[in-house]
Structure 1
């Protein structure tokens, strides 16, 4: 017997077989990138590539083990087969006892979050599913020092470390860079917030100008959609809730050519009635959300060294929920209209909204030796139109509308070495060509007369005959940006690395602007009440032209030290900038001398710590100090909206994130603290002629504290069925909505509690869930404006809840 076994072994020893296969997630067939495949009892093995495939040689019967963090090991016996290949596939089941490693592309290549010396958060697909997140705003609620607002589908605001995107001036580029699949969006109104087919959402906090480039002084929000895969599967999700909320999302993946070509198609439809109740039925009928969108992507791998991904999307919003109510003023009410009570309003005209968006991204990755060359070509186009009651009251005071458009083409080419070498690098070139335009129409109506009389301090002659005056403002911006960048990391010792980055940016912007006033005449004389807010500037045939050019060098310098393979500290300095821009809103300056504002510069100092003490715990922290010169700030004073530079702004903050897991229990907590103030911000004079300086004021949308707590518990009720209970508790401190720090329109501190209860089999093929958001029905002011005729505020969404059905086809 012993002799027979020895003879058999000798035969096997002379046979070498190539074993290839794929490692996927058992629940949905998705590939597991970087999974380990090794021969049991040895150190010999390999890892899966970006599509989950592996290859290993064997010369004797072995036990192959498939392993991936967060999943149960899977073992399979493999026997060599002379002259033939063997195929072994691994379907790994999630292990609720371990934390999955998050992946982030902070260095423009995918790396494990714990290895990257950047203050970053990753919202995974698991988080999106288990916390019932249906749009981008909801996914970001757990990120420290980040708050979001939305009072229209296109008016979305993201604020990171007190630096926010802008919503009301197309000449002001976002301070937080917005990306979808490596495609850059310079304005938040073109950023689609409905989530479809999302793999993860990355948030990089602090300046990221070296590698991400334009307008990243606040940070980067990057949505990464799922890639097509070489498999056949599909998913359907149906959701229904109060306010007549209905959402359907579906995706299908098909392998068209084995291991060569794959297609993924995704669609989404969302509708919901508005939570603000207008007492006029005709107006209430259009107070709703109505969106549908499609996304398609192709993955082509002609050979092991080439990967090409093509993506395209289309989205359309047909309506938008109204979030505004009339707040009046406690000591000033010239219109004579009482403030709206709660979330009930009565407005003069319906708020109408329509938006269409579409675009494409082509990404090619080519391995040349040990290096990889990446090319990204993107095209995006967005156009939306809004018209509504500007005073949001029963009075007929003013109407306002806007049509805004964005179209851009970008090209990026970069090369990078493997990140695990003693010296690693990445470098490249970037080009962006963009055109943005806005057409604003504004009119004063008959009920504006008492407001004008209060402002002027005198009666308006023939005021009872006044019906309408207004203005039209037209802005077109052509922007071109060129950049060259390089970043390197050098291993000074086994534990210490030096990181250096440099970027040269050349920007050229051109503004074409005109503003036309429309007067009402009585007895040959204009009322000219519109002159309180606007004058003629240029004309459609001879617009005012302005330039804003920048040639700037930005850079970063840092060290990271690895105390152990699972614990790292880092220190870094970043010099960033945000280019000059244009004031494109209404103006009372006939010469247009204030149409251009200066660029801003930032020096950011940061200390960070990252650790993963075990497969069940993870803790990250960052301490930072930031110094701004000529910080660009939006001044939203009713109908007077412009951008001004604050000469000096400083602040500091701290962020922590912890994740821990016990048997069937997971606990995530994040905290953020901000202390940012204007050090010097002179701003004209007050009504008494005294100089005004906002020194000492808080930055707008910069809460002192943010805290998020997300406990989850999984209860096995049979061998195959599990019940999941999760909560998401978010506290946001008080934040001001204007630079003058007016308390009456400020966002008050609030705690929002969300919950989810679901039933699903262990293999994840289906689930049924009950979800609720803002369970305590806590409401707060998202944003507010102070107008001459009274204040108006945008309320947050009250309690909403529903049921979700999910089915996974394999």
Structure 2
């Protein structure tokens, strides 16, 4: 903790010193200023530099330069954010941010600690959360609890994806490209007025296909390939003063021939049973002799199909703005994987070496939000209030087989999960400007979740002769409620220096344990809600005549009844309330326009975490673990974009981009038995662009130094391997 606060103090001093620095940059032309970024982090338009929330905001240009094409790529630019695919599917993410995490997102019973929104519609399922980011207007990643304005499961943050909305401006764009592992991709987008100054329309489409980067020796084919398609249509009515309406329809499909990029391994030495003698992923020895060879006879398969429809209506009612957001999201998701990665017996035959799971699910989500927003007291008081309703209906079937040795397997009767969630909330928040510089904010949200589970599961695993196993019903009807307050103060020290401090509470409801194998007790155990009290102070500075933006946040999160996934029986995992913990940290984001055409950035995150108390029955307690999973002591991201002067008779220019990211080692599981050893990654691109941006040709690469490394260890027999070096060559044209 001392190290963290010393680092925070050093970051604060460095930021303040930069604000008073005198250099050649400060004397430069005022035209070389960073563009202002407008965000809606507090449900109204504000400048990024006067928003009292830690926000990373990304424009379409930044997304392109940094090669952020999926939600998973956001961890390469957002301080302290960990995103990676789960075991079940490449289109489903596990998430870690400021101590909140979720690692089993392939189940309909799992809910994220970080809320995902697309066009202000909450996405309740982590299945499909690894969004293909096409035709995006802006992405905002809010760090820290957003319990008052966003509510549901925004326990430690929220990711907001804002897609492009048609209006008076017209556009038409196409692109196509090829890449490593037989990748080919194409996209198209157009938008404009269908009825002049009244009704806008837009359509966008994206397709990408890529072969796998791992060879399955048992099946004699490459696996972990992926095929994705996304279609989106929008109608935007804005032809009547005081009334706007946007209808959005989206269809996405994702098919892959390997949802889990798991490589079978043994360990250099004895696999630990205590955190004190934990192993590192660099100690893992691939059973096939290569990190890119799998041995499973299970033919991997996965799919996620999602349809989303939303209607967003805004109307002026006197001095009050009324907004209605109605939405439906339907998700079909399935997977087949071998958790062990397979094994080759001495005789040369192949087989799984543990749990083989197949799952199919269907989820229908309905939501309705009503907002009322306005100003009062001669414009000094800005307020927003509203009501929110969310309903989710889930059905999932899981088929499991436990393979425990040559010729010894235990097929398990199908487990069914039929669950429903009804969530109700009311919220209010207001900001009062005491004067031109000082403002106070207060907010409160009440949430009530009612959940139902009607499931069936096999009653036991027959390791010895006995009665024939049977399916037994499991029925639960829990409900959870919480108040989520927020208070804050912000102060404009001058026109370029903004400071804020907040205290807020986050809440994530309890739920059911679907990751059970022939264990009605595990399946029927309901875990309790988790909460967080978050204390944050921030400083946002614009310096060097608008050429440098420096945003610093310092936080403390006190986590109570923390929910974490633990192994509790043969093949069974359960989310338990493992105890109370504290996470202290600081995050610094720097952006500098160093010269005409040259932009630099650097982001730094430091975190320290400790348990305040533990459930004595938890894995964390019995193994002697000291750290939360998916929490890195520090991470760094830095890079540049440089655009050359015009050449080729002033018809073209080059745009060069490069970035470096490093995340310190972290633990994959709450038991702290395996530490994930990370590496530094270099990405880069060079683009030939026309003078008027009408055409471009871009060569881009990720992991340019071809680092070979494991990312996470869901079990002691197999580890997920990261993608090696990849490249793409893309041509684009704007009409």
- Same-fold status (TM-score > 0.5): yes
Instruction: Judge conservation of contact 1:470–1:517 (CA < 8 Å) in 2.
Output: no
The 2-side partners of 1:717 and 1:730 are apart by 30
Between the aligned partners of 2:374 and 2:109, the Cα distance in structure 1 is: 38
Q: Distance in 2 between matches of 1:730 and 1:327?
A: 27
Could you tell me which runs of 5 or more consecutive residues in structure 1 were left unpaired when the two chains were aligned: 1-72, 74-94, 451-463, 529-534
> 1:6-40, CA deviations, whole angstroms, 9 ceiling, x for partnerless residues?
xxxxxxxxxxxxxxxxxxxxxxxxxxxxxxxxxxx
Asked if the contact 1:97–1:664 (Cα under 8 Å) also holds between the matched residues in 2, the reply is no
1:341 partnered with 2:290: yes
Q: Which of residues 578, 583, 589 in structure 2 aligns to 1:657?
A: 589
Partner of 1:113: 48
- The correspondence of residues 314-393 of structure 1 with structure 2, limited to 5 A, is 314-321=251-258, 322-330=260-268, 338=287, 340-393=289-342
Tell me how far apart the structure 2 counterparts of residues 664 and 282 of structure 1 sit (CA, whole Å): 49
Change (3 A) 1:116 1:287: closer
Q: Which residue of structure 2 aligns with residue 573 of structure 1? A: 503
1:801 aligns with 2:733: no
Q: Distance in 1 between matches of 2:693 and 2:685?
A: 16
Q: Trace 1:281-680 onto structure 2 (pairs within 5 A).
A: 283-284=221-222, 287-321=224-258, 322-330=260-268, 338=287, 340-393=289-342, 394-397=350-353, 398-417=355-374, 421-445=379-403, 448-449=404-405, 466=408, 468-516=410-458, 525=465, 538=472, 543-586=473-516, 589-591=519-521, 595-613=525-543, 614-636=545-567, 639-661=571-593, 662-680=595-613
Question: Structure 2 vs 1, CA of residues 281 and 116 (structure 1 numbering), >3 Å: closer, same or farther?
Answer: same
**1:587 offset after TM fit, Å?**
5.2
Mapped to 1, the partners of 2:110 and 2:463 lie a distance apart of: 36
Residues 339-360 of structure 1: CA deviation (Å, up to 9, x unaligned): 5522122221210112211010
Of residues 160-169 and 373-382 in structure 1, the stretch that sits farther from structure 2 once superposed is 160-169
Deviates more, 1:470-479 or 1:251-260: 470-479
Q: How far 1:389 moved relative to its partner? A: 2.9
Equivalent position of 1:136 in the other structure: 71
Question: Compared with structure 1, are the counterparts of its residues 739 and 519 closer, same or farther at alpha carbon in structure 2 (3 Å cutoff)?
Answer: closer
Deviation at 1:154, TM superposition (A): 3.0
Return the alpha-carbon distance in structure 2 between the equivalents of residues 388 and 700 of structure 1: 23
After TM superposition, list the pairs within 5 Å mapping 1:129-278 onto structure 2: 129-151=64-86, 152-166=89-103, 167-278=105-216
> Is 1:786 aligned to 2:730, yes or no?
no
Report the Cα offset of residue 754 of structure 1: 0.3
- Render the CA deviation track for 1:51-103: whole Å, top value 9, x for unaligned: xxxxxxxxxxxxxxxxxxxxxx9xxxxxxxxxxxxxxxxxxxxx983311122
- The CA distance in 2 between the partners of 1:694 and 1:574, in whole Å, is 32
**Aligned position for 2:614:** 681
Measure, in 2, the Cα distance between the counterparts of 1:265 and 1:588.
47
Stretches of structure 2 that go unaligned for 5 or more consecutive residues are 1-28, 272-284, 343-349
Confirm or deny: 8 A CA contact 2:475 2:524 kept in the other structure.
Answer: no
Question: Which is further off, 206-215 or 105-114?
Answer: 105-114
Q: Secondary structure at 1:478's aligned position in 2? A: strand
Distance in 2, matches of 1:223 and 1:161, equals 20
Q: Rg: which structure is higher?
A: 1
Q: Output the CA distance in 1 between the equivalents of 2:147 and 2:555.
A: 17
Correspondence 1:31-70 to 2 at 5 A = none
What's the CA shift for 1:396?
Answer: 3.8
TM-score, normalised relative to structure 1:
0.79
1:650 alignment partner, SS class: strand
Deviation of 1:317 after TM superposition, in Å, equals: 1.7
Aligned with 1:724 (options 642, 645, 655):
655
Per-residue deviation at 1:362?
A: 0.5
Cα pair distance change 1:636/1:593, threshold 3 Å = closer
Q: In structure 1, which of residues 733, 742, 745 is the aligned counterpart of residue 664 of structure 2?
A: 733
Report how far residue 547 of structure 1 moved.
1.9
Instruction: Answer yes or no: is 1:711 the counterpart of 2:640.
Output: yes
Deviation at 1:724, TM superposition (A): 1.0
Q: Say if 1:96 and 1:749 are closer, same or farther in 2 by CA, change over 3 A.
A: farther
Matches of 1:338 and 1:753, distance apart in 2: 28
Q: Secondary structure at the match of 1:439?
A: strand
Helix, strand or coil for the counterpart of 2:315? strand
Q: Deviations over 1:278-321 (max 9, x none)?
A: 1245543x641111121100111131211100000111122244
- Alpha-carbon RMSD across the aligned residues, in angstroms, is 2.6
Q: Is the 8 A contact 1:682 1:693 kept in 2?
A: no
Change in 2 beyond 3 A, CA 1:536/1:496: farther
Deviation at 1:332, TM superposition (A): 6.9
Give the Å deviation of 1:755: 0.4
SS in structure 2 at match of 1:749: coil
Aligned mates of 2:489, 2:529 — CA distance in 1:
29
- Aligned partner of residue 127 in structure 2, secondary structure: helix
Number of residue pairs matched by the alignment: 676
1:251 shift after superposition:
0.4
Shift of 1:183: 1.0
Give the SS at the match of 1:128. Answer: helix
Distance (whole Å) between structure 2 residues aligned to residue 669 and residue 642 of structure 1: 39
Distance 1:759 1:476, change over 3 A: same
Local SS of the residue matching 1:190? coil
- C-alpha change, 1:370 and 1:800, in structure 2 (3 Å) is same
Write the deviation string for residues 696-753 of structure 1: whole angstroms up to 9, x where unpaired. 611111111111102111111323421111111111110110011123xx32132110
In structure 1, distance between residues paired with 2:662 and 2:269 = 32
What's the counterpart of residue 16 of structure 1?
none
Change over 3 Å in CA distance of 1:353–1:518 after alignment to 2: farther
- Do 2:93 and 2:130's aligned partners in 1 also have CA atoms closer than 8 Å? no
- Alpha-carbon distance between aligned partners in 1 of 2:554 and 2:213, rounded to the nearest angstrom: 39
Contact 1:681 1:695 in 2 (8 A): no
Determine the C-alpha separation between the residues in 2 that align with 1:109 and 1:751.
Answer: 38
> Closer, same or farther in 2 for the Cα pair 1:418/1:438, shift >3 Å?
same
For residue 410 of structure 1, report the CA deviation from its aligned partner: 0.3
Contact preservation (8 Å) 2:394, 2:419: yes
Deviation at 1:371, TM superposition (A): 2.6
Partner of 1:129, secondary structure, is helix
| Structure 1 residue 421: Cα displacement | 2.6
Structure 1 position 594, deviation (Å): 5.2
Question: Offset at 1:399?
Answer: 2.4
Query: For the structure 1 residues 657 and 520, does the alpha-carbon distance in structure 2 shift closer, same or farther, using more than 3 Å as the test?
Result: closer
